[in-house]
Structure 1
């Protein structure tokens, strides 16, 4: 403390201009990299730490020549679709989209092969297939051909033929994958500890190159999506049109985050300033918190730019949280300054400022450290973006503390606030009402807290992690409407791939190893698997097993469109006058399918090079009973027990799997996070207060506050998601602030006369005001987040406000009641035995 005093007396208080000049240099350096500050809503930002699902997802896409890099345009014409005019309007829209530079190709009912010719057979398939683009096909004939084809209904056309889709392919350049592979290669070397200093440097360069190229690619995608939207707007008079697809979802999520960072960040700031002006009614007490908050956020954004550390969906709220924490620190300083003004109105402003800083630095330091511990616990979550969020807030809180205790005294040294009537008034503040209530109804406070704790426990037991991605967006948004249309009319939204690997030896299949020793003809009948025919998928037995897998997946209520080699065989059977292919015809399927159709009918489903078969499934996100984990477990159990595949033959991949992995880790992560937070804070309290009894008293309101948020979510049926996972840890961090300030002030007040009740009233009239003003300001500021289009942001604003309310009530009722009851500072020399009788 003496060193701190000497530092302030020598450097900060006498030289405020020099302090602000040095700060201006740091602000200038931070501003140099504002252009490097970026947002990331890619698949990598949503996966677990060390989760291999993303690499498996990319690997499967490469092997089966598939990709989710396409936009889906849903098109429901005002009039009939299958008329000359209806198809002409659709063609005009398709041509405009295909003319865009970034569009590689488009798929629609206009260019896909129609299987309707009477003379079409397996022998003539190469010459008899027609398309609406290339051939004269009557609209009604085309309609019947499309609806009778196993591939197109619920994919390119709805079952009622009223809605169709245009798939706009946005191919990812090979350069992206080259940079990705190089970065991953070097990262694996470094992780294994086998990298040289030169390779460490190469990793940094490869990471920077990948980031720059990804940003460039993202900007180009945004431009393309905006141009697509412009084109769609021109055709809205002829049809109801919606846009969907993974690139559009990523783009819109980034746009929502940017809007929330700018629009709502500014809105929160305005609300905070208005509230400060109403509370303190002095422009200095508005300007100083504004500058402290602004400088903190400025420096952190600059640092993230210098470090090229992207902000994700989860960490996008770090700006708002830094505003909370910095504002909390400055309000406590303001209230304490005004107390000293009230107690000694004749003191020089410099002396009042000095006393304020010295009185508040210890509790604010304790507050910052314990809040850092709370956010630091997020690094144990196992979820990459949550870990990053924890580190960002840890660093941001350190910056907030330094800025507050450097900028606040420097500004007040230059702009000393005058006395006003509200400061010199002896009016008892509103917060003393909490003290009177606690004094009179002590038992009610304890009983009520116990009831709340029980309700919280019940609510927490009802928490779930299953939520629909479509529910992240308001129903009025295009992204929500597009998802609903695709789900209801075009076979589902979120992709899931089931990959079967053929790696069983012949004896494991339970069939004869040498069918030629019998009278069975393998080219005509199902003779099982022989060594000669194991190297191909196109055998009767293998296709029969894959057909059973397809039928099972298609029968599930959660699945929409299911595509596999069975779909292709159904098409070929249709061509074959409705007769299923026999064993000999199956063997010649790769040769029978024309080369220009193999990328549609064969390679997306069979990789003979890797002995794998793929089932492409679209999950219905709008299903009210969707339970992803239960669905995956049910599929896995059926494939391994009913259909005889081994565990290592079955692989799940796709966006559904990565998203589910993250969701399923949320509950364990939340329990782990809260447990770590509470243990760490209890340890901190033991160090700070040097009393186990006082540490337990201090932790009680924090448990109630955190539990109340999670319990409320459980009772309301709001599932844990990417952002609500952080609310409980944030709640603990906020509640800790109030707890530390109150206990620190209580220790000071009880030392005056040893009267617990009198000390409680004095605390409520002093530090209680700061706690009340902080909570009121933040609750009012964050209420603006309910206007966001991103539902998790709305939840964040609502639950942050609720957390502040519960933390405040707990710190002003339960905490003082426990202090008076347990008397951790020694025996009561006053009238403490009178309280709590009601």
Structure 2
């Protein structure tokens, strides 16, 4: 400490301008990274580390030429849809959307084949196809043709024929996948340790190019979505219109996050500064925390941009958290400075500043270290964005500590504050009421803490991870309203693919489908072998029909599409008669070329020997439990229908999102266990007493358990943001614990009176703890105005965490100290 004090005297306090000038140069350098600071809400930002589901999802899309890169426009006209004028207005809207540069094509009831002609059969299907666009089809005839077609209801048109949809296709450029594959291949080599120096350099170049391209693609897509919304606004006077689709959800999530980062970041800071002005009533005590917080955030944003380290949905609140931590450090310094100032009003400002720094640097250092440990525990999660969030906060807290203990003394050295006559050192603050309560009702504090602990355990047992994506957004948002419309009228929102691989041909069969006495084209071969030469056999189609009927029967599923849908349609074309085995064999040849991309290739890949079932999950179903649904599907296909495990693949956004959710419990257990173990070790190093370390751990356990328990009691599930609340709670609660115990140890040495020491601590460090909690609770209350529900939960639970940490540190902690007497006898 002597060397540190000498460093401050000779460098920081002696040359404050030099410190600020060097900091200014550093700020100017990091500002160069502002232009590269970016947000990421892609699929990669919401999957587990090394999760194969994303690659499987992309591979399935490539095999079956399918994609989720489209917008869905739901259209419910005020008047009848199926009239000449109603269809003309729909066509006008469709044409305007199709004219946009980024739109490759559109699908709607206007251009799909109606297949309604009485002369239609398998032989004439190519010549008799009609559409609303190209043929003079009476509106009522078109309506019946669409509703009677097994493909379109609950997909392009609601069952009541009042709501329809326009699918606006926004294809992802081939360059994106080329860069993605190059980056992934090189990354695999680097991780395996087999990459040469040239390949490592190439990885850096490709990664940078990929980031730039995705940034450009995102900006162009945002512009396109804005143009789509402008077009839709011109048609809202005569229809109820909603916009949906994965690209729109991603764009709006990024917009919400940007809004939270800017508007709410500034709003939180404004609330914090207003509270500081009310508490301390001196402009210096507003300016100094403002500059410390601003410099910390500035450096971190610049560094993240320079390092091309994107902020995701999960880490989007790192700015708010940095404000909390930096502000906490500065408030503790301010309160201690004012104590010294009023104890010795005649002392030189430089001496007071030096004493403040020497008194606070040790507890603040341990506070920063233990908080870093709390956030560092997130790196044990299996979720990439959570891991990144942990590293971001670890680095950010390091920066916050350094900035606070460099900028605070430099600024106060240049503009020392006068003594505030409104504050007296012997004034009994509000926090002393906690001391009196703890002294008088010590048993009540212990019993109440025990009851609270039991309630926490019960609440934890009720905690779940099953949540609906639709619940992330307020009912007033277009995402929420669009999802409800799509779920209720257009077959569901979240995609799920079930892919079945054909059995390999027997070795002695030679790949000849006629190697046995049974002809699979004209007979039902019963339990005979299935051959990979073709899917279009009677037996295989019967099996796929069983799968389709099962998937369609589930209450959680909406629209189910497969080759069975196509066969049902062809049966209608075949005068209502199901296709026999011979007709099945010639289905690929019978379907016109321009219809194969609609009726065949999305569901059957002969080249890859796979059949696909495209399912839409009903996000609005209150009983939706994704893991249970996926397990139920897999069990039925393997145990009831006899498919081998390796022949069944579940893929899609539903699987990736579920994988992330199911890892939350495991991640939460890991992070909480690691953080408390690490904090216990830190307490042992700091306090050099196992008894004192366990005492200090108690309020932290109560604070973290209270937040998670409250979530369980309220039925609020863990999600991609609330998983971080427990670690944040511990980090916040640890700050108060360290400061209080450190001050208690210092004060106790004066008279070795536990009760008197408790009252002095509540009047001194208790004030700093109270001011910090009050400031943060007030500031974070503004987050309830966000449109992103996880951000609202983050603000509310952070505020609740601060409250519980404060109450625990001012009641349970001193009561345990007075009861156990870890510093020796009075």
Contact 2:532/2:609 (8 A) holds in 1: no
Is contact 1:465-1:719 (8 Å) kept? yes
Shift of 1:521: 4.8
Shift in CA distance, 162/88, structure 1 to aligned 2, threshold 3 Å: same
CA distance in 2, matches of 1:397, 1:350: 27
Q: Partner residue of 2:810?
A: 812
Instruction: Report the 3-state secondary structure (helix = DSSP H, G, I; strand = E; otherwise coil) of the residue aligned with 2:419.
Output: coil
Which residue in the other structure is 2:610 paired with?
A: 612
Counterparts of 1:465-614 in structure 2, within 5 Å, are: 465-505=465-505, 518=517, 521-528=519-526, 533-614=531-612
Query: Counterparts in 2 of 1:360-509, with a 5 A limit?
Result: 360-424=360-424, 426-505=426-505
SS at match of 1:500: strand
Q: CA deviation at 1:671?
A: 1.1
Paired with 2:646 and 2:74, the residues of 1 have a C-alpha distance of 38
Quick check: 1:48–1:383 contact (8 Å CA) kept in 2? yes
Counterpart-to-counterpart distance in 1, 2:482 and 2:344: 65
Question: Compared with structure 1, are the counterparts of its residues 204 and 521 closer, same or farther at alpha carbon in structure 2 (3 Å cutoff)?
Answer: closer
Q: Deviations over 1:426-453 (max 9, x none)?
A: 3211111111111111111110000000
Partner of 1:833: none
Residue matched to 2:26? 26
Output one character per residue of 1:686-733: Cα deviation in whole Å (capped at 9) or x when no partner: 111111001000000000000000000000000000000000000000
Q: CA deviation at 1:507?
A: 9.8
Residues 341 and 423 in structure 1, CA contact (< 8 A), matched pair in contact too: no
Q: How does 1:62-81 map to 2 (within 5 A)?
A: 62-81=62-81
User: What is the match of residue 92 of structure 1?
Assistant: 92
Q: Which residue matches 1:246?
A: 246
2:713 maps to what in 1? 715
The alpha-carbon deviation at position 609 of structure 1 amounts to 1.0
Instruction: Give the corresponding residue for 1:322.
Output: 322
**CA separation in 2, counterparts of 1:277 and 1:289?**
11
- Could you tell which deviates more after superposition, 414-423 or 795-804? 414-423
Structure 1 segments unaligned to the other structure (5+ residues): 829-838
Corresponding position of 1:832? none
TM-fit CA distance, 1:9: 1.1
Question: What's 2:154 paired with?
Answer: 154
Q: 1:113 and 1:79, CA in 2 relative to 1: closer, same or farther beyond 3 A?
A: same
In structure 2, what is the Cα distance between the partners aligned to 1:637 and 1:304?
45
Matched, 1:292 2:314: no
Q: Is the 8 A contact 1:339 1:423 kept in 2?
A: no
* Structure 2: runs of 5+ lacking an equivalent: none
The 2-side partners of 1:711 and 1:266 are apart by 31
Aligned alpha-carbon RMSD (Å) = 1.5
Given that 1:515 and 1:528 are in contact with CA atoms closer than 8 Å, whether structure 2 keeps it comes out as no
Question: 1:244-297 CA distances to partner (integer Å, 9 max, x unpaired)?
Answer: 000000000000000000111111011001100000000000000000000000
Name which of 675, 678, 698 aligns with 2:676.
Answer: 678
Pair 1:220 & 2:216 matched? no
Q: CA deviation at 1:667?
A: 0.9
Question: 1:7, CA displacement in angstroms?
Answer: 1.4
Per-residue CA deviation, residues 399-449 of structure 1 (Å, 9 max, x unaligned), is: 000000000000001110001222335321111111111111111111000
Contact 1:496/1:654 (8 A) holds in 2 = yes
What SS class does the counterpart of residue 232 from structure 1 fall into? Answer: helix
| Residue 505 (structure 1) shift | 4.8
Q: Which residue of 1 aligns with 2:199?
A: 199
Which residue pairs with 2:652 in the alignment?
654
Distance 1:620 1:313 in 2: 23
> 1:467 aligns to what SS in structure 2?
coil
CA distance in 2, matches of 1:6, 1:596: 83
3-state SS of 2:790 partner: helix
**1:503 Cα deviation from its structure 2 partner:** 2.6
- The equivalent residue for 1:345 is 345
CA contact (8 A) 1:372 1:394 kept: yes
Indicate if the aligned counterparts of 2:57 and 2:651 stay in contact, CA closer than 8 A: yes
Any idea what the Cα deviations from partners look like across 1:40-66, whole Å, max 9, x if unmatched? Answer: 000000000010100000000000000
1:345 Cα offset (Å): 0.6
1:527 CA drift (Å) = 2.0
Contact 1:506 1:529 in 2 (8 A): no
Matched residue SS, 2:718? coil
Aligned residue number for residue 722 of structure 2 = 724
8 Å contact from structure 1 (residues 371, 734) kept in 2:
yes
* Structure 1 position 238, deviation (Å): 1.6
Cα distance, 1:240–1:532 mapped onto 2, change above 3 Å: closer
Q: Is 2:776 the partner of 1:778? A: yes
Cα distance in 2 between the residues matched to 1:132 and 1:48: 45
**1:666 equivalent in structure 2:** 664
Shift of 1:522: 3.6
Q: Distance in 2 between matches of 1:116 and 1:244?
A: 30
* Cross-structure match for 1:332: 332
Contact 2:736 2:806 in 1 (8 A): yes
Q: Structure 1 residues 651 and 517 mapped into 2: Cα distance closer, same or farther (>3 Å)? A: closer
**Residues of 2 paired with 1:505 and 1:36: CA distance?**
54
Q: Secondary structure at the match of 1:48?
A: coil
What is the TM-score of this pair, normalised by structure 2?
Answer: 0.99
**How far off is 1:534 after superposition?**
3.4
Q: Secondary structure at the match of 2:422?
A: helix
Q: For residue 692 of structure 1, what is the aligned residue in structure 2? A: 690
- Equivalent pair of 1:698/1:815 in contact (CA under 8 Å): yes
Q: Which of 738, 758, 761 in structure 2 is aligned with 1:760?
A: 758
- Aligned pair 1:113/2:108, yes or no? no
The partner residue of 1:769 within 746, 767, 783 is 767
User: Secondary structure in 1 aligned to 2:311?
Assistant: coil
Q: Is the 8 A contact 1:374 1:732 kept in 2?
A: yes
Once residues 236 and 513 of structure 1 are traced to their aligned partners in structure 2, the CA distance between those partners, rounded to angstroms, is 60
The CA deviation at 1:753 is: 1.1
Select between 398-407 and 2-11 the one with higher mean Cα deviation. Answer: 2-11
Q: Is the 8 A contact 2:513 2:520 kept in 1?
A: no
Partner SS state of residue 545, structure 2: helix
Assess if the C-alpha contact under 8 Å between 2:520 and 2:539 holds in 1. no
Q: Is the 8 A contact 1:341 1:424 kept in 2?
A: no
Residue 315 of structure 1 aligns to a residue in which SS? coil
TM-score (normalised: structure 1): 0.97
Choose from 743, 746, 751 the match for 1:745: 743
Separation in structure 1 between the aligned mates of residue 343 and residue 215 of structure 2, nearest angstrom: 57
1:602-647 residue CA offsets vs partner (Å, 9 max, x unmatched) = 0000111111100000000000010000000000010001100011
Separation in 1 of the partners of 2:277 and 2:133?
A: 67
Question: Cα offset for 1:33?
Answer: 1.2
1:508 and 1:60 mapped to 2: Cα distance?
A: 31
Q: How many residue pairs get matched?
A: 825
